[in-house]
């Protein structure tokens, strides 16, 4: 498999948040996006128009001659759809973009395959700077891994190789750092809304908390009543949440975890 990134044409299987941002990043770097597939016509057409590509909602009409196929679908649908979409296209490079799915899912389906995992939270309506996004790649052979690293390097200054086990652990850590943290924002917004207070009042605190971990370890940056186990404050907060038993339990569990992690 001798390939160069200069002649890399790409088909995107999926048109969600990640696919949209990644396809746009490739397009801006001069890659030719041949086609976009999505189950819904509106999503496929919207992304295809952004990157001057054809689109389809029928897997049987996915083009056969792309150099690389980027599969950005829900993890739960991958094993079901991969055998369908790869037929007749076995000589291309196939990658999925999932953090928690092994590269071995391609075994027996195609010859050249790997993983292309940009570790970031994506939304269609927000532009991101791909040069700062870590991209983790894995290839079935050294040649495929080298090719994927070269492709990734056109987008980002932070490109790493990571095997499937490392990537699973990375994805788990990202869920804690991103998804769970954002859920805390949502809970805080609800508490504020119940008292006619704006979520924007928390933004300077959120921003400073994020900035601190650029200079301090998360352990060193931790503050608050749970760290010093101020029982008066903690019990008062729990009483305030007496009408919210689910939030009360979240508060109690996180306070205990913070206190135990903070012990010398």
**pLDDT score of 7 more than 80:** no
Do 217 and 182 lie in one domain? The reply is yes
Are residues 201 and 87 located together in one domain of the fold? no
The mean pLDDT of 181-198, rounded to a whole number, is: 96
Instruction: Share the mean pLDDT of the chain.
Output: 93
Specify whether 77 is located in the same domain as 176.
no
Give yes or no: residues 9 and 24 share one domain.
yes
The last residue of a domain, from among 142, 162, 182: 162
Residues 113, 80 share a domain: yes
Does the pLDDT of residue 4 top 80, yes or no?
A: no
Could you tell me if 222 and 208 are in contact, meaning their C-beta atoms sit under 8 angstroms apart?
no
Token pair belonging to 146: 């080298």
pLDDT at 5: 66
Mean pLDDT of 215-239: 94
Alpha-carbon dihedral sign for residues 89, 91, 93, 94: positive
Q: Which domain holds residue 10?
A: 5-162
- The yes-or-no verdict on residue 77 having pLDDT over 60 is yes
pLDDT value at residue 257 = 95
Last residue of a domain, one of 162, 189, 205: 162
Same domain, 148 and 36: yes
Q: The whole model's pTM is what?
A: 0.86
* 238 and 157 in a common domain: no
C-alpha distances (whole Å) from 163 to each of 101, 110, 149, 167 are 11, 19, 13, 6
Number of structural domains found in the chain: 2
Instruction: Judge if 127 and 178 occupy the same domain.
Output: no
Amino acid 185: pLDDT = 97
Residues 112 and 158 in one domain: yes
Closest CA to 138 of 156, 164, 159: 164
Out of 136, 162, 188, pick the residue that ends a domain. 162
pLDDT of residue 208: 96
pLDDT tens-place string over residues 123-160: 998 989 999 999 999 999 999 999 999 999 999 999 99
CATH of the domain at 108: 3.40.50.720
Q: What is the pLDDT of residues 23-61, one digit of tens each?
A: 999 999 999 999 999 999 999 999 999 999 999 999 999
Q: Does the pLDDT value for residue 104 go beyond 90?
A: yes
pLDDT value, residue 75: 84
218 and 105 housed in the same domain: no
Show Cβ contacts of residue 192 under 8 Å, excluding neighbours closer than 6 positions: 198, 199, 201, 202
Check residue 6 and give its pLDDT: 62
Q: Check pLDDT > 80 for residue 184.
A: yes
Is a pLDDT exceeding 60 seen at residue 167? Answer: yes
pLDDT at 250 over 60: yes
Give the pLDDT score at 80.
87
Query: Is residue 2 predicted with pLDDT exceeding 60?
Result: no
CATH number at residue 199: 1.10.1040.20
Q: Are residues 44 and 141 in the same domain?
A: yes
Q: Is the domain of 117 the same as that of 150? A: yes
């Amino acid at each position: 498999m001798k390939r160069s990134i200069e002649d890399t044409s790409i088909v995107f299987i999926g048109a969600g948040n990640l696919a949209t941002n990644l396809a746009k990043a490739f397009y801006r770097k001069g890659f030719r996006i041949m086609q976009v597939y999505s189950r819904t016509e509106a999503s496929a057409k919207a992304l295809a128009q952004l990157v001057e590509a054809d689109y389809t909602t029928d897997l049987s009409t996915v083009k056969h001659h792309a150099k690389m196929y980027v599969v950005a679908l829900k993890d739960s649908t991958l094993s079901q759809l991969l055998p369908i979409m790869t037929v007749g296209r076995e000589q291309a490079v196939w990658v999925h973009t999932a953090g928690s799915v092994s590269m071995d899912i391609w075994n027996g389906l195609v010859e050249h395959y790997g993983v292309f995992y940009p570790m970031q939270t994506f939304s269609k309506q927000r532009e991101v700077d791909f040069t700062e996004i870590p991209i983790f790649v894995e290839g079935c052979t050294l040649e495929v891994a080298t090719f994927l690293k070269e492709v990734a390097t056109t987008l980002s200054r932070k490109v790493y190789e990571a095997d499937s086990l490392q990537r699973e652990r990375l994805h788990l850590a990202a869920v804690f750092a991103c998804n769970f943290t954002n859920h805390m924002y949502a809970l805080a917004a609800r508490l504020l809304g119940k008292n006619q207070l704006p979520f924007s009042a928390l933004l300077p605190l959120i921003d400073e908390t994020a900035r601190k971990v650029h200079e301090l370890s998360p352990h060193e940056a931790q503050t608050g009543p749970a760290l010093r186990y101020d029982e008066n404050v903690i019990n008062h907060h729990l009483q305030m949440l007496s009408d919210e038993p689910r939030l009360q339990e979240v508060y109690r569990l996180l306070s205990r975890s913070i206190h135990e992690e903070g012990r010398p």
